[in-house]
Every structure is written in structure tokens, then in C-alpha cells.
Structure 1
Amino acid sequence: MMQNLTQTLADWIAGGGREMGELHVEPLENGFILHHADDALLCEVVCLQGAEAARELAHYDDAGQFRPLKTAPNLRHGWRLHLADLTELRRALDYFYPAMLGVWLGLQRGRLVTVPLRETLARQTGMYAVTKKITDAQAQTMIGGFCRSDGGCVKRILWTIAPGVPITSLPVEKFQSAAPPQRLPLLCHEACNLLVAKAREIVKKSEAPA
């Protein structure tokens, strides 16, 4: 699988691929440079080397606050990361956006399974079992706020609330998996744990005595 991912990444770059989430990939004769897409013209940056440096860069935003959601649009600025080869580039991208290369490859091969929100919540047990009680209206509002691209998450959503029940609280482009050749889209095929936790918060609040 790793070899498949590396070759797929190589093919994408050869075809002009340069952007993934908030990252820009710059091919060099001796490897690659990764930097924040906003920093193309920034001169004063911290220069780093090796895929392991990506782990720390992905953890914190510009204010030094921990980023619990790696696909939130708050990746820190002001750095250049030199990577020796495709293997290092793939590892660095996985640190920044865990599993996103594999999800994209699964979509390309027609093997990606999307999971409706109701199915995800139906699997919850223990303290999260109450999430099953969230109404469709509550779910629409929750998704519209939590998953929005401007401040929430930059992934494109592929799942629905339930079969035949689409999400209507976000712009239509939020659900488009296609992207220009130079951009590798970040895809969401199932509601994340943070959204499930938010659903629990909403249900518990609605059930609390007035």
C-alpha cells in the first residue's frame, strides 16, 4: 500500500500537482520543498529538514495553540521544509494530513466507502450513545458550523446525514470531490470523532433541565 501511495504521489506531481490543503509542494533537483501556501513570497522563514519536522509543525497554529483537527484551516506559517525524496514527502504529508493520501487513492480506484452520519452515530456506545438522539435539524446546524471551510475544516464532505438526507447547511462546493490537477483534495468519507463529540454536547444540552 505504501508503494502504491508513493507512486500515486509521484504521478500526481509529474502531472503538475502542487497543492494539498494549505500546503504547497515545490519539486527540486535534490528533493522537495514544502511550505504554507500563503508563504510563497515570504522571505523570513525557518528552514527545516526531514519528514519528522512536519510532526511538530502540524501540531500548533501561529499562536502556539494545539490543533486537535489537522484539517482545520489554521496551519502555522513561516517555515520551509526540505525533504530528500518522495518517501520523505509522503511521510511529511501524512503528518500534516493523516490518511488523506490513502483516502484520495481509494476514491480514484473506486474503493472508498462513505458512511452516513446516522450510521456513524449508530455505532457509538457508552457516553457517546446519546448522539443517536440528535435530530436532523440539529445535525444540519451542527455540520454547518463545525465543518465549514472558513474556520472549521478544509475537507470536502462525501457523506450524508442519512441515505436520501443530504446536508443542506453548507455551500455546494463543500461536497465536490473533483479538483484541478494541481490540487489534491482532502476528502471526508465519515464524520470525525470531534464531530461526534460535538453531537453529544448538543444532545446533552438539549436534554438538560431548563
Structure 2
Amino acid sequence: MDDEQLAALSAAVTIEDDVAFDGLHVTRTEDGYRFELPDLERGGLSEDELHRVARANPEHVSNWYFWHDVAPTEGSARFDFLRYLERVADHDAPTETRGHGGDATHGTTYEPTDILDRYDALERGIERQWGQLLVTVELADDGYRRYEVRHVDDADADADDLDAHRDVRDARDVAKFDEKGRYRPLKAAPTLVDGWRFPELTSAAVVDVVETIYPATVANWHREREGNLDVDHWEPTMERQSGIYGVVQTWNRGEGKEHVERVAEACCADSECLKRREWQYDEDTDLEADGGVGAFPCREPCSMVVSAARQWTKLEGEDSQSYEFELTPSEKEQLEAIIDTVADGDVDEVREADFRHDANRWRTRYLREKRMDDDGNLCGVPTDGDD
């Protein structure tokens, strides 16, 4: 603990104002200062005596100083997110009312009890996963915090084997392309590249890195915790579409909800997006499709979903037709397996020499040679309207 922290404590405690945070309670009366912890009470203290008691309990005082003079404003999204990263609630006891600095998660409130347990954990490093990010919080000098962000797949990697980034703006480049160098239009897709880290981050910088890689997730997470997440469901979102996207509104004629169920299953599964879908068909009609288990919520159908839905709306407008194909049972099963493999994104997992796998490239090429004509028609059966 440094002199600046002691001076800040003295300045914060007056006859009118006290300090009450994470189990530390300091007040001032005409008889002097009173310093209280869950297992300690000292009263009638002069300022010098207050400083001596504070130096004997540096964890509580430095913790208060960090959260009030270094961290963002108490109650803000950034403040609560930093408390979440530090797993404050894991070291607290539940209570019926929120105490000073209490951390509430999904309706549960907490009253801080023992800072020492949390400081011991910070000495070792406290980890939190946020999407594909692994954020580690460690204790720095005088109770300050030090943060590192890396890919969760690099959890056990040696720091020297990872590319270290010192500029927060580098997070934009980290999140821009996937491992094949393709642009990532959906930032919440589970396609974030690994092999990097952001070390020695301040409390402000760590939130900037997280929000750059996963935009608006901290703000929406906080709104949800506070009970004011503004969810835009499918129906009202589609009603606002215009121009080329206005065609999506036609889905609400006939099989509207059934189409949307398929959209949610196809686009909003954990394998495709790390957000937890909170939007439904409309305010009164939930979707049966699983919304996922992500840490941060999805409050409305994103532009990717709307764009995909536009294309599917056009395709769904076609009339069904019957086709007759001749396939062996194994060939039918192979086509089904190819669809599953592509849909699950597992094409790259099929080994070139694994000819038993239905989606093996050579097996698929062989099936094409056998069952497709020179015009690309399956079993030589053209689509109606084809020449």
C-alpha cells in the first residue's frame, strides 16, 4: 500500500461520508476514525492511527482504492464486468440485499466477506472465459490489477510462443480474419484465430480489447444483468425491413414460425455463434430452437441472419416438385452424410485417405462421376425449366 492510497482513504472519510466496500467500513465522528472489518473493530483513531491500522490490513484498503480510484465508475458496465472477471461473487456470501460493491448474477445478490481469499486467488491468477477469449486477472503492486487476454485454445501455451500485442488497436486485426485468411463477417462466430496474447493490460485496456473482439457484448451483458436488455424479436425486426430485405416479411404468411425455427436452428446454434439468443418469434411466442449457452446475450436477429433469411425466403417461394432418382442404399446414405458434414463444418476433418468416410473427397468425386451427367444433373434428371 502506498501513501497515495492512505491519503485517499482519509480524504474519503468525513463526518458526512463514510467508506463501505467489500467488508471494509471506515467512519469518522467527533471522537475520531472508526476502522471495521468482518473480524476487526478499532475506534477513536487519529489520522496517524488510522493509517497504521490501514497498513496492517493492506488488502482491504488497496482493494477499496483500486475499485474507487482506478477502476471505472461503480455500477457501470465496465465496473461490473471487471468484478465479473475477478469472480468477486465466488468469494462472497449470498444475502437478501446488495451490499456496497455487491456483485449480482442472474438475480442473486452477494455481501462481500473475505478479501484475503480473493487476494490469494489473484496471486495465482483468476481466469474467465468470454466467448473464445481467456481473460486472466492477477494482483500487481499495491493492490492494482494486471490483465492478460489470449485465445482459450492457448490456455496452456507458453507466453513466449504467442505473438504479444501491446497496442489495444491490434485487437481489430486479430478478430478480422479466420485461420484460412477469410474475413469474419460475424464477430461472434467461433472462428477466432489463436496464437496471440495481450499482456500487462490495465483495467481500462482489458475491456477495450474484449469489446473490440466482441463488440457490444459487455454492454448487453450488463443490460441483461440489470434487467433492462431491450430485445427486438423476429416479427418487429422483420417489419422494419425495407428494399431488397422487405421480401423477408412474406415469411409471416402461412408457415412463418416454422421458417423462423429453421433459421434459428441453422444460424444461432453454439457451433455457429457464441451469443446466447434471447430474441423469439415475437413477444408472446417463443421459439423451440435452443438459444445456446453463451455468456453474452443476442438481443435481435443480426444482419447475417436477416441476409440469410432473405435468400431462404426466395427459395421457399418455389413450389415443391417430385424427382425420381436411382441410388443404391449406400449412395443415399452418402448424400445424407455429405449434407451433415458440410452443415456441421467438418469437411476439413475428413482425412484424404479415409475412404470409409462418406464425405471423403475422392468418394464424393467418384459418386459425381457415377451419378451426375455432363450438365451436372443428379442421375441425369434435370430440374424443370432447365434446357
Q: Is the pair's TM-score, using the shorter chain for normalization, greater than 0.5?
A: yes
C-alpha offsets along residues 140-191 of structure 1, whole Å, 9 cap, x if unaligned? 11210111111x1011111111233222233xx62x67xxxxxxx1210111
Sequence identity percentage: 24
Match of 1:25 in 2: 135
Per the alignment, residue 143 of structure 1 pairs with: 264
Instruction: Report the 3-state secondary structure (helix = DSSP H, G, I; strand = E; otherwise coil) of the residue aligned with 1:18.
Output: strand
1:102-117 matches, cutoff 5 A: 102-117=219-234
Report matched runs for 1:124-135 at 5 Å. 124-134=241-251, 135=256
TM-fit CA distance, 1:208: 5.0
What TM-score, normalized to structure 1? Answer: 0.86
Residue 207 of structure 1: CA displacement? 2.6
| C-alpha deviation, 1:128, in angstroms | 0.7
Q: Distance in 2 between matches of 1:83 and 1:62?
A: 26
Any residues of structure 2 matched to 1:3-22 within 5 Å, and which? Answer: 3=73, 4-14=76-86, 15=88, 18-22=128-132
- One of 310, 313, 317 as aligned partner of 1:203: 313
Unpaired runs of 5+ residues, structure 1, are 178-184
Question: Which of 62, 65, 77 matches 2:182?
Answer: 65
Map 1:24-103 onto structure 2 (within 5 A). 24-28=134-138, 29=140, 31-43=146-158, 44-103=161-220
Residue 83 of structure 1 deviates from its aligned partner by: 4.5
Runs (4+) of structure 1 moved beyond 4 Å? none
Superposition RMSD in Å: 2.0
Gaps of 5+ in 2: 1-71, 89-125, 320-383
Question: Which of 276, 283, 289 lines up with 1:156 in the alignment?
Answer: 276
CA distance in 2, matches of 1:64, 1:36: 17
For the Cα contact (< 8 Å) 1:50–1:82, is it kept in 2? Answer: no
2:162 and 2:195 in contact (8 A); partners too: yes
Larger Rg: 2
The residue number in structure 1 matching 2:110 is none
| Matched length | 198
